[in-house]
Amino acid sequence: MSARVDPQFLTEIKKYGAVNIEACFNCGNCTAICPLSTNGETFPRRIIRYAQLGLKEPLLSSKELWLCYYCGECTRTCPKQANPGEFMAAARRYAIASYDPTGLAKALYTSPILSAIFLVLPALLIGLGIYAFHGPMPTNALKLFDFIPAGIIHNFGVIGMILLAVLLLAGMVNMSIKVKGEKTPGVHHDWMRALWETLIEVLTQQRYQQDCETEADKPVWYLQKWFIHASTLWGFLGLLVATALDYGLEVLGIKATGTWVPFWNPIRLLGTIAGLLLVYGTSMAFVRRIRKSDATSTYSTISDWAFLILLWLTGVSGFLLEIALYLPQPGIWAYWTLLFHISAAGELLILMPFTKFAHAMYRAIAIYFHALKPVPVAEPAKAGAD
């Protein structure tokens, strides 16, 4: 393969972070210290090399970008303090921007003004839009879905979801085509197994837990990065499931959404626990970024903050709503909280393909391709062996 060296490429990636990566002298320390790097899928040095040489396609085809959980070991030990871990994060941002067909992700990452506008506008529009259809706010009993008719949420939701799905799919297909590479004829892959492994990894974050926290002086489990990350993820997934189940009950005609259920109701319980996990995870992530606890939380882009803040706001406002449901005399604030909650959640979903949120899909795809191993082909029986 011939390639053209393009020094501009590094400048491009540096727009997404990659503080000091030009200092890298390619010693390989980072790759050898990285607990997740393995032969055949080495990183970060090789990926840094792509960036230095301007090999854009190989970089964008690297599932390795997403196999890194940013433990920061490489950054801590890099003899040039070239910040390879931060480079990986920047390269992921660059990849998110490149897989996104709309160009919005790029704008969000690289232009503070555009991102500011884009961060406030959708939420405002959603809020105003829904408010335009709002109903009464009775204070004698909390009737959330009198205030905002479930149908409205439903309609907005469906339109949003379809749009989102198209964009997400575009990104995912974009990435998959690149990462998949050439198909070798005659080789079959065990995709069932790969899917299963991906599911397990996404749900348990095993690699993060076992490989990434290699530090001898690691803190208690609930302060560890993997737990903070996992609790955010579990919280998010839990809430998603709880909402879907709740909606499912309505579809089945068992009960209407948003009506009172005892707190021990399994769905409610799931929602409560998930909410707690989400708020804990995001709050801790906040604290780490504000304190710049270590190399991995030192550099934050606007997009990183936006994602975190929205998650946190959605979690906290959802929680307030739940409290309101159990209060004998909830105030008028409960209705405003609902409006806020829906706007924040809507914004979060809209931003999914364009912000750090997208890592959830891209990482899963990368893990899938990482787990995808050829099925060993049975040796054809040798005829007439002596």
Partner 1 sequence: MDNLRIDALIIGGGIAGMQSALDLADQGFQVALVEREPSIGGRMITLSKVFPTLDCCSCITTPKMSAVAHHPNIHLLTYCEVQSVREHGTGFDISILQKPRYVDVSKCTGCRDCEYECPITVPSPFDRNLGAYRAIRVPFSTAVPQKAVLDPEYCLWCGKCEQVCPVEAIDFTQQPETFNIEAASIVMATGFDLTPMETKKEYGAGKLHNVIDPLMMERFLAPTGPYGRVLRPGDGKEPTSIAYVQCAGSRDETLNITYCSRVCCMYAIKQAMLISGALPMAEITIYYMDIRTFGKGYEQFYQNAKAMGVEFVRGKVASIKEDSDQNPIVKVEMTDIGEIVERTHDLVVLSQGIIPASSPILRGGSTQAVSLPLGSDGFIYVPAPDSAPCVTERAGIFVTGTAMGPMDIVDSIISASAAAAEASAYIRENGNRVEAHKEALYA
Of 48-87, binders to partner 1 (CB under 8 A) are: 76-81
Minimum distance of partner 1 from residue 207's CB (angstroms): 16
- Based on the shown chain and the rule CB under 8 A, indicate whether residue 228 belongs to the binding site for partner 1: no
From the list 69-77, 341-349, 353-361, 364-372, the region that binds ligand SF4 by CB under 6 A is 69-77
Minimum distance of ligand SF4 from residue 293's CB (angstroms): 15
Rounded Cα–Cα distance for residues 332 and 133 (Å): 17
Q: Which residue bears the tokens 């297909």?
A: 173
Nearer to partner 1, 25 or 333 (CB): 25
DSSP 377: P
Residues with Cβ within 8 Å of 201's Cβ and at least 6 positions away in sequence, in order, are 207, 367, 371
Contact map string, positions 78 to 97, toward ligand SF4, x by CB under 6 A: xxx-x-xx--x---------
Query: If we measure between CA atoms, which residue out of 257, 222, 212, 235 comes closest to residue 314?
Result: 235
Minimum distance of partner 1 from residue 122's CB (angstroms): 43
Question: In terms of C-beta distances under 8 Å and separation of at least 24 residues, what long-range contacts does 330-334 make, across chains too?
Answer: 330/139, 330/142, 331/139, 332/137, 332/139, 334/142, 334/144
- Based on the shown chain and the rule CB under 6 A, indicate whether residue 72 belongs to the binding site for ligand SF4: yes
Binding at 44: pick from ligand SF4, partner 1, none (beta carbon under 5-8 Å per type): ligand SF4
Binding at 42: pick from ligand SF4, partner 1, none (beta carbon under 5-8 Å per type): partner 1
Rounded Cα–Cα distance for residues 212 and 234 (Å): 19
Rounded Cα–Cα distance for residues 353 and 165 (Å): 9
Nearer to partner 1, 43 or 312 (CB): 43
Tell how many helices (H) and how many strands (E) occur in the chain.
18, 0
Dihedral over alpha carbons 309, 313, 315, 320 (to 10 degrees): 160
- Based on the shown chain and the rule CB under 8 A, indicate whether residue 337 belongs to the binding site for partner 1: no
Question: What residues make contact with ligand SF4 under the rule CB under 6 A?
Answer: 24-30, 34, 36-37, 43-45, 48, 68-74, 78-80, 82, 84-85, 88, 212
Question: What residues make contact with partner 1 under the rule CB under 8 A?
Answer: 25-33, 37-39, 42, 45-46, 76-81
